[in-house]
C-alpha cells in the first residue's frame, strides 16, 4: 500500500476544534473522491475521536490534540487522533457500549460509533501518558493521484 499524501494538525483541546478537525479531514479525504456517505462516516468518526480526546483525555485541563491523516492507493484514509491526557486504564472496558468516565453527562457510545462508521478502529493507551485512536476506511470512489 503506497502513501499518496499525508497531513498533520495540532490543535488545542477546545470543543470548538472538534468541528474544525471534521472539516479539515473531510477536505483532505475528498482528494480520494469518496461518496457523500463515506465522507459523512469519516467526519462522524473523527468527531467522536477528537471529542474523546478533549472531554476524556484532558478532562478539566487543556493540552494538545494531534491529528494525522494519510491517504493511500488502496484507496483508503487512515486517521490518527492522539492526546497526552490521562489515558485509559482498561481499553477493553472503555470500548464497551455505555461505558463512560463521566456519569450522567455522556452516553458512552464514542468507540461504538467509530466502529460502526469505519472499517478498522485501534485504540492504544497508557494511564498518565495519553491515548491514540487510529481510524481506517477504504474508499470505494475512484482514486486521484494528484
48 is catalytic: yes
Is residue 25 a contact partner of residue 69, using CB atoms and an 8 Å limit?
yes
38 is catalytic: no
Identified catalytic residue from 48, 78, 82, 136: 48
Q: C-alpha distances in angstroms, 90 versus 61, 100, 103, 116, 132?
A: 21, 12, 17, 21, 14
Identified catalytic residue from 106, 115, 124, 143: 106
Q: C-alpha distances in angstroms, 41 versus 2, 22, 67?
A: 23, 11, 17
d(CA 26, CA 30): 6
106 is catalytic: yes
The closest of 28, 125, 109 to 76, measured between CA atoms, is 28
Identified catalytic residue from 52, 80, 82, 136: 52
d(CA 16, CA 65): 13
Active site residues per annotation: 48, 52, 106
Amino acid at each position: 500500500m503506497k502513501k499518496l499524501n499525508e497531513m498533520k494538525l495540532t490543535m488545542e483541546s477546545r470543543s470548538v476544534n472538534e468541528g474544525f478537525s471534521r472539516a479539515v479531514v473531510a477536505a483532505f479525504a475528498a482528494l480520494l473522491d469518496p461518496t457523500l456517505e463515506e465522507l459523512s462516516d469519516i467526519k462522524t468518526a473523527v468527531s467522536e475521536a477528537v471529542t474523546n480526546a478533549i472531554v476524556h483525555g484532558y478532562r478539566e485541563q487543556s493540552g494538545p490534540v494531534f491529528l494525522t491523516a494519510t491517504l493511500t492507493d488502496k484507496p483508503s484514509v487512515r486517521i490518527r487522533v492522539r492526546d497526552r491526557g490521562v489515558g485509559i486504564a482498561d481499553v477493553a472496558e472503555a470500548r464497551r457500549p455505555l461505558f463512560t468516565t463521566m456519569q450522567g453527562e455522556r452516553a458512552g457510545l464514542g468507540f461504538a460509533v467509530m466502529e460502526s462508521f469505519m472499517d478498522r478502529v485501534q485504540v492504544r493507551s497508557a494511564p498518565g501518558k495519553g491515548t491514540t485512536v487510529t481510524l481506517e476506511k477504504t474508499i470505494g470512489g475512484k482514486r486521484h493521484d494528484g
